[in-house]
Amino acid sequence: MNEVELTKCHELARKVRIHCLKMVHKGKSGHIGSMLSMADILPVLYTLILNVDPKNVKKLDRDRFILSKGHGGAALLATLAELGFFPLEWLDEYYCDNGKLSGHISHHIPGVEFSTGSLGHGLPVACGMAMAAKQMGKKHRVFCLCSDGDLNEGSTWEAIMLAAQHHWDNLTMLVDYNRLQALGKSRDIIDLESLKQKLEIFGWAAREENGHDQKTIYESLRDLPLCDNKPSAVIFRTVKGKGVSFMENDYRWHYGGLTDELLAQALKEVEEAI
Protein backbone atom coordinates (compact mmCIF):
# COMPACT_ATOMS: atom_id res chain seq x y z
CA MET A 1 0.00 0.00 0.00
CA ASN A 2 1.63 3.23 -1.09
CA GLU A 3 1.00 6.71 0.26
CA VAL A 4 -1.41 7.58 -2.53
CA GLU A 5 -3.50 4.51 -1.84
CA LEU A 6 -3.43 5.17 1.87
CA THR A 7 -4.55 8.77 1.40
CA LYS A 8 -7.31 7.59 -0.91
CA CYS A 9 -8.53 5.08 1.69
CA HIS A 10 -8.43 7.74 4.41
CA GLU A 11 -10.49 10.09 2.32
CA LEU A 12 -12.96 7.39 1.37
CA ALA A 13 -13.41 6.47 5.04
CA ARG A 14 -14.04 10.13 5.86
CA LYS A 15 -16.64 10.38 3.09
CA VAL A 16 -18.30 7.17 4.22
CA ARG A 17 -18.59 8.53 7.75
CA ILE A 18 -20.05 11.81 6.51
CA HIS A 19 -22.56 10.01 4.29
CA CYS A 20 -23.60 7.72 7.13
CA LEU A 21 -24.11 10.60 9.55
CA LYS A 22 -26.23 12.50 7.03
CA MET A 23 -28.21 9.41 5.99
CA VAL A 24 -29.00 8.42 9.56
CA HIS A 25 -29.93 11.98 10.48
CA LYS A 26 -32.16 12.47 7.45
CA GLY A 27 -33.79 9.08 7.80
CA LYS A 28 -34.18 9.46 11.57
CA SER A 29 -32.75 5.96 11.80
CA GLY A 30 -30.19 4.24 14.03
CA HIS A 31 -27.14 1.95 13.95
CA ILE A 32 -24.72 4.81 13.33
CA GLY A 33 -22.25 3.41 15.87
CA SER A 34 -22.11 0.11 13.96
CA MET A 35 -21.55 1.92 10.68
CA LEU A 36 -18.71 4.07 11.95
CA SER A 37 -16.97 1.13 13.51
CA MET A 38 -16.36 -0.53 10.12
CA ALA A 39 -15.86 2.68 8.15
CA ASP A 40 -12.09 2.20 7.93
CA ILE A 41 -12.29 -1.46 6.88
CA LEU A 42 -14.64 -1.18 3.91
CA PRO A 43 -12.54 1.36 1.92
CA VAL A 44 -9.46 -0.85 2.12
CA LEU A 45 -11.46 -3.94 1.27
CA TYR A 46 -13.17 -2.40 -1.73
CA THR A 47 -10.25 -0.49 -3.22
CA LEU A 48 -7.33 -2.83 -2.59
CA ILE A 49 -8.48 -6.33 -1.65
CA LEU A 50 -11.66 -7.41 -3.38
CA ASN A 51 -11.70 -8.22 -7.07
CA VAL A 52 -14.82 -6.26 -7.96
CA ASP A 53 -15.72 -3.92 -10.80
CA PRO A 54 -18.32 -1.16 -10.45
CA LYS A 55 -18.80 -1.26 -14.22
CA ASN A 56 -19.44 -4.99 -14.25
CA VAL A 57 -20.98 -5.77 -10.88
CA LYS A 58 -22.03 -9.33 -11.74
CA LYS A 59 -18.80 -10.46 -13.37
CA LEU A 60 -18.42 -14.13 -12.69
CA ASP A 61 -14.93 -14.06 -11.21
CA ARG A 62 -15.69 -11.29 -8.69
CA ASP A 63 -14.85 -11.92 -5.08
CA ARG A 64 -18.03 -12.41 -3.07
CA PHE A 65 -18.50 -10.13 -0.08
CA ILE A 66 -21.38 -10.61 2.35
CA LEU A 67 -22.04 -8.02 5.00
CA SER A 68 -23.61 -10.16 7.70
CA LYS A 69 -24.13 -7.20 10.03
CA GLY A 70 -26.73 -5.80 7.66
CA HIS A 71 -27.84 -3.16 10.14
CA GLY A 72 -24.68 -1.21 9.37
CA GLY A 73 -25.49 -1.38 5.67
CA ALA A 74 -25.38 2.39 5.11
CA ALA A 75 -21.58 2.24 5.43
CA LEU A 76 -21.42 -0.32 2.62
CA LEU A 77 -23.91 1.64 0.53
CA ALA A 78 -21.83 4.81 0.95
CA THR A 79 -18.68 2.92 -0.03
CA LEU A 80 -20.32 1.44 -3.13
CA ALA A 81 -21.79 4.80 -4.17
CA GLU A 82 -18.45 6.58 -3.78
CA LEU A 83 -16.81 3.91 -5.94
CA GLY A 84 -19.40 4.22 -8.68
CA PHE A 85 -21.49 1.09 -8.23
CA PHE A 86 -24.58 3.31 -8.28
CA PRO A 87 -25.24 7.09 -8.31
CA LEU A 88 -24.32 9.05 -5.19
CA GLU A 89 -27.76 10.68 -5.31
CA TRP A 90 -29.29 7.37 -4.27
CA LEU A 91 -27.88 7.91 -0.80
CA ASP A 92 -30.50 10.65 -0.40
CA GLU A 93 -33.12 7.95 -0.74
CA TYR A 94 -32.18 6.00 2.37
CA TYR A 95 -34.75 4.96 4.95
CA CYS A 96 -37.65 6.95 3.51
CA ASP A 97 -40.96 6.39 1.74
CA ASN A 98 -40.44 5.08 -1.78
CA GLY A 99 -36.70 5.17 -1.10
CA LYS A 100 -34.20 3.11 -3.04
CA LEU A 101 -32.19 2.09 0.02
CA SER A 102 -33.54 0.19 3.01
CA GLY A 103 -32.17 0.31 6.53
CA HIS A 104 -30.72 -3.17 6.14
CA ILE A 105 -28.66 -4.11 3.15
CA SER A 106 -30.49 -5.46 0.07
CA HIS A 107 -29.19 -7.35 -2.96
CA HIS A 108 -31.45 -5.29 -5.17
CA ILE A 109 -28.76 -2.61 -5.04
CA PRO A 110 -25.86 -2.95 -7.53
CA GLY A 111 -22.77 -4.29 -5.80
CA VAL A 112 -24.57 -5.82 -2.84
CA GLU A 113 -24.00 -9.56 -3.00
CA PHE A 114 -26.54 -10.67 -0.43
CA SER A 115 -29.33 -9.22 1.71
CA THR A 116 -28.98 -9.44 5.46
CA GLY A 117 -30.54 -7.84 8.50
CA SER A 118 -31.20 -10.67 10.89
CA LEU A 119 -27.87 -11.72 12.37
CA GLY A 120 -26.33 -15.12 11.87
CA HIS A 121 -27.22 -15.47 8.18
CA GLY A 122 -24.07 -14.28 6.43
CA LEU A 123 -21.50 -16.92 7.26
CA PRO A 124 -23.64 -19.97 6.37
CA VAL A 125 -24.37 -18.50 2.94
CA ALA A 126 -20.70 -17.60 2.52
CA CYS A 127 -19.89 -21.23 3.31
CA GLY A 128 -22.23 -22.36 0.54
CA MET A 129 -20.58 -19.97 -1.89
CA ALA A 130 -17.14 -21.18 -0.84
CA MET A 131 -18.16 -24.81 -1.25
CA ALA A 132 -19.61 -24.13 -4.69
CA ALA A 133 -16.50 -22.23 -5.78
CA LYS A 134 -14.29 -25.15 -4.77
CA GLN A 135 -16.50 -27.70 -6.48
CA MET A 136 -16.76 -25.61 -9.64
CA GLY A 137 -13.01 -24.97 -9.77
CA LYS A 138 -13.43 -21.20 -9.45
CA LYS A 139 -10.65 -19.05 -8.08
CA HIS A 140 -12.66 -16.19 -6.61
CA ARG A 141 -12.71 -15.73 -2.84
CA VAL A 142 -15.58 -15.35 -0.40
CA PHE A 143 -15.56 -12.78 2.41
CA CYS A 144 -18.06 -12.30 5.19
CA LEU A 145 -18.01 -9.40 7.65
CA CYS A 146 -19.55 -10.27 11.01
CA SER A 147 -20.25 -8.35 14.20
CA ASP A 148 -20.17 -9.20 17.88
CA GLY A 149 -23.90 -9.87 17.70
CA ASP A 150 -23.41 -12.19 14.73
CA LEU A 151 -21.12 -14.25 16.91
CA ASN A 152 -23.91 -14.68 19.47
CA GLU A 153 -25.92 -16.59 16.88
CA GLY A 154 -25.68 -20.37 16.89
CA SER A 155 -25.94 -20.48 13.11
CA THR A 156 -22.67 -18.55 12.83
CA TRP A 157 -20.91 -21.16 14.94
CA GLU A 158 -22.51 -23.95 12.93
CA ALA A 159 -20.90 -22.36 9.89
CA ILE A 160 -17.57 -21.86 11.67
CA MET A 161 -17.44 -25.58 12.46
CA LEU A 162 -18.42 -26.61 8.94
CA ALA A 163 -15.89 -24.34 7.21
CA ALA A 164 -13.06 -25.79 9.28
CA GLN A 165 -14.28 -29.34 8.73
CA HIS A 166 -14.04 -28.86 4.97
CA HIS A 167 -10.89 -26.73 4.90
CA TRP A 168 -12.47 -23.93 2.88
CA ASP A 169 -9.43 -21.72 2.61
CA ASN A 170 -11.17 -19.58 0.00
CA LEU A 171 -13.35 -18.23 2.82
CA THR A 172 -12.41 -15.30 5.06
CA MET A 173 -14.44 -14.04 7.96
CA LEU A 174 -13.79 -10.46 9.02
CA VAL A 175 -15.00 -9.45 12.45
CA ASP A 176 -15.87 -5.86 13.25
CA TYR A 177 -15.06 -6.52 16.88
CA ASN A 178 -16.15 -3.40 18.72
CA ARG A 179 -17.16 -5.40 21.79
CA LEU A 180 -20.45 -3.57 22.18
CA GLN A 181 -23.87 -4.78 21.18
CA ALA A 182 -27.41 -3.47 21.33
CA LEU A 183 -27.87 -3.52 25.09
CA GLY A 184 -24.37 -3.16 26.44
CA LYS A 185 -20.86 -4.51 26.53
CA SER A 186 -20.39 -7.88 24.89
CA ARG A 187 -18.40 -9.11 27.87
CA ASP A 188 -21.44 -8.50 30.08
CA ILE A 189 -23.85 -10.25 27.68
CA ILE A 190 -22.02 -13.00 25.79
CA ASP A 191 -18.31 -12.74 26.39
CA LEU A 192 -16.55 -13.74 23.18
CA GLU A 193 -13.02 -13.56 24.63
CA SER A 194 -10.71 -14.83 23.54
CA LEU A 195 -12.28 -14.83 20.11
CA LYS A 196 -9.01 -15.46 18.33
CA GLN A 197 -8.27 -18.49 20.50
CA LYS A 198 -11.81 -19.76 20.12
CA LEU A 199 -11.57 -19.60 16.34
CA GLU A 200 -8.16 -21.26 16.33
CA ILE A 201 -9.45 -24.06 18.50
CA PHE A 202 -12.34 -24.42 16.07
CA GLY A 203 -9.85 -24.97 13.27
CA TRP A 204 -9.51 -21.53 11.71
CA ALA A 205 -6.39 -19.51 11.07
CA ALA A 206 -6.94 -16.25 12.90
CA ARG A 207 -5.23 -12.94 13.56
CA GLU A 208 -6.30 -9.91 15.49
CA GLU A 209 -5.56 -6.39 14.26
CA ASN A 210 -6.39 -2.74 14.74
CA GLY A 211 -9.50 -2.12 12.64
CA HIS A 212 -8.89 1.60 12.29
CA ASP A 213 -5.31 1.56 11.03
CA GLN A 214 -5.84 1.20 7.31
CA LYS A 215 -2.25 0.20 6.57
CA THR A 216 -2.62 -2.64 9.08
CA ILE A 217 -6.01 -3.59 7.65
CA TYR A 218 -4.46 -3.85 4.21
CA GLU A 219 -1.50 -5.88 5.38
CA SER A 220 -3.70 -8.29 7.30
CA LEU A 221 -5.82 -8.99 4.22
CA ARG A 222 -3.13 -8.84 1.57
CA ASP A 223 -2.01 -12.45 1.79
CA LEU A 224 -4.95 -14.76 2.16
CA PRO A 225 -5.50 -17.44 3.18
CA LEU A 226 -3.66 -16.96 6.42
CA CYS A 227 -2.90 -20.66 6.32
CA ASP A 228 -3.40 -23.21 3.54
CA ASN A 229 -6.32 -25.58 4.03
CA LYS A 230 -7.93 -23.47 6.73
CA PRO A 231 -10.56 -20.77 6.57
CA SER A 232 -9.20 -17.38 7.65
CA ALA A 233 -10.52 -15.05 10.32
CA VAL A 234 -9.27 -11.50 10.69
CA ILE A 235 -10.59 -9.98 13.88
CA PHE A 236 -10.49 -6.21 13.69
CA ARG A 237 -10.53 -4.52 17.06
CA THR A 238 -12.70 -1.50 16.46
CA VAL A 239 -14.43 1.29 18.33
CA LYS A 240 -18.16 1.60 18.02
CA GLY A 241 -18.94 5.13 16.84
CA LYS A 242 -15.32 5.68 15.79
CA GLY A 243 -14.60 9.25 14.70
CA VAL A 244 -17.29 10.99 16.72
CA SER A 245 -16.17 11.65 20.28
CA PHE A 246 -19.55 11.54 21.95
CA MET A 247 -20.42 8.22 20.30
CA GLU A 248 -17.19 6.29 20.76
CA ASN A 249 -17.50 3.18 22.91
CA ASP A 250 -21.03 4.04 23.98
CA TYR A 251 -23.47 1.24 23.26
CA ARG A 252 -26.38 3.71 23.24
CA TRP A 253 -25.27 4.66 19.72
CA HIS A 254 -26.32 1.26 18.49
CA TYR A 255 -29.82 2.68 18.23
CA GLY A 256 -29.35 6.37 19.01
CA GLY A 257 -30.66 9.07 16.65
CA LEU A 258 -29.03 12.34 15.67
CA THR A 259 -30.49 15.78 16.39
CA ASP A 260 -29.53 18.70 14.14
CA GLU A 261 -27.07 19.91 16.76
CA LEU A 262 -25.44 16.54 17.25
CA LEU A 263 -25.17 16.05 13.49
CA ALA A 264 -23.38 19.37 13.15
CA GLN A 265 -20.96 18.49 15.93
CA ALA A 266 -20.32 15.02 14.51
CA LEU A 267 -19.73 16.31 10.99
CA LYS A 268 -17.34 18.95 12.29
CA GLU A 269 -15.29 16.31 14.09
CA VAL A 270 -15.15 13.99 11.09
CA GLU A 271 -14.38 16.74 8.61
CA GLU A 272 -11.64 18.22 10.77
CA ALA A 273 -10.03 14.91 11.71
CA ILE A 274 -6.48 14.47 10.46
Binding site for another protein (CB under 8 A): 107, 114-118, 120-121, 123-136, 138, 154-155, 158-159, 161-162, 166
Tell me how far, at minimum, the Cβ of 147 lies from another protein, in Å.
17
Q: Could you give the CA distance from residue 63 to residue 1 in angstroms, rounded to a whole number?
A: 20
Our CB check for another protein shows the closer of 130 and 224 to be 130
CA atoms within 13 A on the CB side of 39: 30
Our CB check for another protein shows the closer of 24 and 133 to be 133
Angle at which helices 3-27 and 214-222 cross, to 10°: 110
Tell me how far, at minimum, the Cβ of 167 lies from another protein, in Å.
13
Our CB check for another protein shows the closer of 8 and 138 to be 138
Tell me how far, at minimum, the Cβ of 201 lies from another protein, in Å.
17
Tell me how far, at minimum, the Cβ of 87 lies from another protein, in Å.
24
- The answer to whether 107 touches 113, Cβ cutoff 8 Å, is yes
Q: Could you give the CA distance from residue 266 to residue 244 in angstroms, rounded to a whole number?
A: 6
Tell me how far, at minimum, the Cβ of 111 lies from another protein, in Å.
15
- The answer to whether 263 touches 271, Cβ cutoff 8 Å, is no
Our CB check for another protein shows the closer of 8 and 166 to be 166
Q: Could you give the CA distance from residue 252 to residue 228 in angstroms, rounded to a whole number?
A: 41
Q: Could you give the CA distance from residue 168 to residue 229 in angstroms, rounded to a whole number?
A: 6
Our CB check for another protein shows the closer of 115 and 186 to be 115
